[in-house]
Structure formats: structure tokens, C-alpha cells
Amino acid sequence: MLLLAVVILGLSIGAVPIATRDVLDALRGIGDPSTIAIVRDLRAPRVLLAALVGAGLASSGGALQGTLRNPLAEPYLLGVSGGAAVGAVTAMAVGVVQPALITLCAFVGAAIATVVVTAIARVVGGSADTKLLLMAGVVVGAFANAAILVALADAPPERLRGALFWMMGSAADATWPAVARCAGALLVLGGILVWRARDLDVLSLGDEPAAALGVDVDRVSRQMFLVASWLAAATVAAAGLIGFVGLVVPNIARALGARQHRPMLLMSALYGAVLLVAADLLARTLRAPADLPLGAVTALVGVPFFLLRLRRLTA
Amino acid sequence: MSSALNAAERGARLAFGNVSVRYPGRTQRALDHVSVVAEPGKMTAVVGPNGSGKSTLVRTLLRRVPLESGQVTVGGVDVASLDARELARRIAIVPQREEPVLPLRVEEFVALGRHARRSAFGGMSDDDRAAVASAVDRAGIGDAIGRRTDTLSGGEWQRVRIARALAQAAPVLVLDEPTTFLDIAHEMAVFELLDELASQGQTVLLVSHQLNLVARFATHIVLLHRGTVAAAGDAASVMRGEILERVYEWPLVVTRDPAVGAPALLPLRGSGRSRERPST
């Protein structure tokens, strides 16, 4: 219901305000041709992409939190998204144009970032301490941003999307093919996470209890981490780096009473979609006609949330 | 209770044969050719000072440490040949430490014991429900049903963890210091529960610091010292002053447990001098 409401709001509000009734008509192909074009070709893909990216980031974050047993884990803070962005940017800089291949490169970048982050945490801490993991993630994320800036410094702006798009994210350039790709990734990868949700329940109990209950801890953690990273990479390839959705939403889902991972992931996907559609709406309207980066809006909401959560965690 | 459940709960022999473990970067072995056998229908206890290798023995069952030599078998099957799920159906382990990280209700937490027997999707089968109900009943945590695990007292939490292991309906039950942090009544309740499970045919292997209760309840005691077996046998043959003094490096005396006549240990020295002084 909430999702439906923000989606309709997202379709109505914009540079040209359109009444809800006209939006519904336009979706069915009735009414003024220019209204139909705005709703169907500009706003609908943008709103849907924001919803899918939000759902993907939130469920990815929820799965990472379970795997790492840390409620502050999420793809952006872990540097996974940053790695994905570097992968995508690198691919485009060397001339790759097929979207599927770019997504694959984003995933490879995310996987490399994951390996680097866990290696840093292990070398510094002696074991994979999750606090160190987050710290290493932030460092790798900063490095990724720098790498994006350097890689795109002399890029022709008409061929490559700008560094700002990658570093702060946006759903402004949404197209129907991008929506379809993102929907496919969410269905398959999010589906795997939901399907394996009870493994996440058991994993989050700790290494030894999980092993005692019949989970091959190292293998299953690795699998879950990879699937969650791939899902995050797919969102990055579609809409750039958008932080804190993966952090905020699963925590809200838990606060609303989702105790096990299956309901938590499903709830996260739903609320993640709502949150990002709403954030995108803010991005378009807050300082209209300027189109704010989506990641800037989520960071403005997410950072205070992170600090509050951190305080409760260490209190 | 279904008959399948009863069959699964009949014990199987758990045997550690000449097991050696060396942690990476250590020169001394954590376990050095240790053999321990836990028989069905009996409570077997592993005791020893801190660092003697007790918990490492349990960790070999979780396969969190590589064996340098030797073999662990359950019901005659090499543990190394089983995958994680198969292993969890044969051996239920209550690890030493665990925090209630998920805000699960008690019954949801106990149901995680069925993880290795359930498919990824699909709800609980009748067998699953029967096993959880029976585990809750036997662990005596019926009153805690509906409560969240992060609101339980230490004693309740420990029994809820044991219930989860019982829900695994495995023929072998292994517990690593299950009564640490428990007061006398809760500690006795756990020992009586394990005693009852063993008498029902379950194989019970217990790692414990509680020498006197172990001497009272366990049929077979293995005393570890620096990764080797210092003594093994019944209470009378293990609970001997000269052996315990050497292993624990503390003067002590072995007397009689007045309740059941089992050997009992009293540490010596430390006269409690501070009590004789007026407090300032």
C-alpha cells in the first residue's frame, strides 16, 4: 500500500505536475500524448528503477548483516559497492558497452573489493573482526571514489556518465532495459537470499553454534556474501553508488518485529523500495529544478541513523 | 512422540581414536594422541585444567580444527566423511559460549535444532514439531515458551540451548561446559537432565570443570593434562589425590561425597586468613 502510494506520488510529482487520475490514464495509454510520454517513458522507469535498487540494496544489506553478524554491515560501507562502481567505470572506460558485461565487471569489482577488505581486516586484526571489516570497507570505498575520479577525469561526457553519477548515484537516466535488468537481478539474487534465509538465521548465531546445527560455516558465508555482493553490484551498475539504504532498512525491519531472516529480507525489500522511491522524489523536488544525487539524499538520512545505531551498539 | 524419533534418539558410540591437533603457529600439540570413547546410555565426562585440550576435543567434532592424526567416528562412521548436515543429524553439540544474537522466541530458537533435517522452504513437519515439543518438555523450559531469548536468565538460556540440541534428535549429545555461570540449583538441574537422557539410551559426552558433580554423575571420566590423557576410567580410578594434584598443580585432598559416597575433591592451602582479621 505504502509502496503503491509513493509510486503514484513519484509518477505525479515532477517538473510538470500531473494529476493522479491523469497518471493512471496515461499508464493505460489514455489522454494527452505528451503526458503519456512523460509518465511512461520518463517517470515510470525512473520510479521503478528506484524501487528495484532500493529493494536490492536493502535485501543485500540484510543478508550481509546476518552473514557478518553486524547490524552496521551494508554494501556501501563495506566497500563492496565502491568496488562495483570501479569495475563498471573501468569496463566503460575501456570501451565495453553491453550492459550485461558492465554488470559482470561491476560484480568482479565488488568481489575484488570484498577480498581486499577481508584481507585488510584479517592482516590488521589477526582474524576477520567485523569492526575492522567496516573500517577497511570505508577505506576501500574512499579509494574507489578516488579511482573513479581519476578514471573519469578525461572521459568524454557524452559517452560516459559522470563521476558524480557513480559516486553519489541517481535514477535520473533510467531506461526500461535498465529496469528489466535490475528486476531480473533482484528476482534471481534476492530470491536466492530469501530461499537460503534460514541458513542466515543459523549463521548469525556464531561459527560454532552454526557448525553444530549443520551449516558449513565458511562455505555458506562465502556464498551468501557473494550473492549479496552481486545484488549490490547490479544496483550500482544501474544507478551508481547509493549508501545507507542497506544499513537503515534492515534495522527498521527488525525494529518492526522481523525476527527471522526470511520475513526480514522480504520486509527490507519492500521498505527499501518505498524509501528509495521517496528519496528519489525528494532528490527531484527538494531543490528543483536541480536533480540532486540520490546517494546524497540517502546519506543525509543514513548518517544520523548510523550514528544512533552505533551508539546503541556500543552503549 | 513418533517412533522415528525414538529410533533416532537411541545412542551411537562416539570414539576419538589417537586424535592429535596442533594449532597453526604452535609448537606443542593441543591434543596429543588422545583416545576417548563415549558409549550409548552412559554419561562420559572429559575434565582437566584450563588449556588441557577439553574444548579442542569438542572443536574436532565441529571440524573447526584440522586433525594432525587420528580419527573420530560416530556409530562407526568417520566424521570426516560426513557433510555438515549429516553430522548435525548424528551429533548434537552445545558449544561453550553463545550469545542470544537474534531476538527469536524460545520455540523459534529451539526449532533451529531441526535445521539439518528441514528443506530450505516448507514449514515444520509433524516430526519437527514433535521433536521440538519433546525437547522443550525434557529440558523443562515449557514456562519460557513465547518469551524472547534475549530476555532469559542465564539458567534459562543454558537450558534453551540444550533444548535446541535435543531437538536435533541426534543419538549423540555433546556439551562443552554447560553449567558455567549457573547457580547450584540450575547446575544440578542440568546434571540431572543429562543423567536422565543417558539413562534413556542417549550417548552423552560432557566437558566440565565440575569434578565433584562429574564424579557423582558420570559413568566414565577422562582426565586430560596438556593435551594427553592423564587418567581414564570410573570415578574411583580417576579421582585420586596423587593424580589430581599433579594435573592441577595444587595441593588437594580427596574425600567422600556425603550424598552418594562418590569421591569428592577439596583444594587445600589458602586458610581464609582475611576472615580472622577485623575489617577496616
pLDDT tens, residue by residue, A159-172: 566 777 888 888 88
Are the beta carbons of A249 and A75 closer than 8 angstroms?
A: no
Peptide linkage before A289 cis (omega within 30 of 0): yes
| Range of the structural domain that residue A291 is part of | 2-314
Output the furthest CA–CA distance in chain B (Å, rounded).
68
Are the beta carbons of A8 and A19 closer than 8 angstroms?
A: no
Residues B15-42 have pLDDT tens digits of 999 999 998 888 889 999 999 999 999 9
**CB atoms B89 and A211 under 8 Å:** no
DSSP assignment of chain B equals: --HHHHHHHS---EEEEEEEE--TT-SS-SEEEEEEEE-TTSEEEEE-STTSSHHHHHHHHHT-S--SEEEEEETTEEGGGS-HHHHHHHEEEE-S-----S--BHHHHHHGGGGGGS-SSS---HHHHHHHHHHHHHTT-GGGTTSBGGG--HHHHHHHHHHHHHHTT-SEEEEESTTTT--HHHHHHHHHHHHHHHHTT-EEEEE-S-HHHHHHH-SEEEEEETTEEEEEESHHHH--HHHHHHHHTS-EEEEE-TTT--EEEEE-----GGGGSPP-
Q: Which residues of B touch A206 (CB under 8 A)?
A: 95, 97-99, 101
From A102's Cα to the closest Cα of chain B, the distance in A is 32
Q: Find cell 571440524 and name the residue.
A: B63
**How many independent structural domains does chain B possess?**
1
In degrees and rounded to multiples of 5, residue B267 shows phi and psi of -70, 145
From A65's Cα to the closest Cα of chain B, the distance in A is 12
What was the pLDDT predicted at B5? 44
Q: Which helix (H) or strand (E) holds A85?
A: helix A80-93
Residue B135 in any domain: the answer is no
Range in A165-174, A262-271, B190-199 with the lowest mean pLDDT:
A165-174
Are the beta carbons of B122 and B55 closer than 8 angstroms?
A: no
Q: How high does pLDDT run on average in chain A?
A: 86
**How many independent structural domains does chain A possess?**
1
Residues A53-70 have pLDDT tens digits of 999 999 999 999 999 888
CATH of the domain at A48: 1.10.3470.10
Nearest to A196 among B84, B93, B120 (CB): B120
Residues B64-94 have pLDDT tens digits of 888 999 999 999 999 999 999 999 999 999 9
Q: Is A231 strand, coil or helix?
A: helix
Summarize the confidence of residues B228-242 as an average pLDDT.
Answer: 92
- Interface list for chain B against chain A, based on CB atoms closer than 8 Å: 59, 62-64, 83-89, 92-99, 101-105, 108, 112-113, 115-116, 118, 120-121, 164-165, 168
CATH of the domain at B54: 3.40.50.300
Summarize the confidence of residues B104-118 as an average pLDDT.
Answer: 93
What was the pLDDT predicted at A22? 81
In degrees and rounded to multiples of 5, residue B174 shows phi and psi of -120, 130
Residue B266 in any domain: the answer is yes
Q: Name, in order, each residue with C-beta under 8 angstroms of A95's C-beta and a sequence gap of 6 or more.
A: none
Pairing of strands B252-256, B263-267: antiparallel
**CB atoms A198 and B98 under 8 Å:** no
Region of A14 please: left (phi>0), alpha (psi -120 to 50) or beta: left
CA atoms within 13 A on the CB side of A147: 19
| Range of the structural domain that residue B223 is part of | 11-103+169-276
Residue B147 in any domain: the answer is no
Residue B61 in any domain: the answer is yes
**CB atoms A206 and B63 under 8 Å:** no
pLDDT band at B257 (very low <50, low <70, confident <90, very high): confident
Give the C-alpha separation, B174 to B152, whole Å.
23
Q: Residue B231: pLDDT above 60?
A: yes
Give the C-alpha separation, B227 to B247, whole Å.
11
- Across B142-172, b (16+ Cβ under 10 Å) vs e yields eebeeebbeebeebbbbbbbbbbbbbbbbbb
Give the C-alpha separation, A58 to A65, whole Å.
10
Q: How high does pLDDT run on average in chain B?
A: 89
Residues A141-190 have pLDDT tens digits of 999 988 888 888 776 665 566 777 888 888 888 889 999 999 999 999 99
Q: Residue B48: pLDDT above 90?
A: yes
From B131's Cα to the closest Cα of chain A, the distance in A is 15
A71 to chain B: nearest residue by CA?
B101
What was the pLDDT predicted at B8? 47
ipTM: 0.87
Q: Residue A245: pLDDT above 60?
A: yes
Burial class (CB in 10 A: 0-12, 13-18, 19+), B256: exposed
Task: Pull the grid cell for residue A255.
Answer: 525494529
**CB atoms A259 and B96 under 8 Å:** no
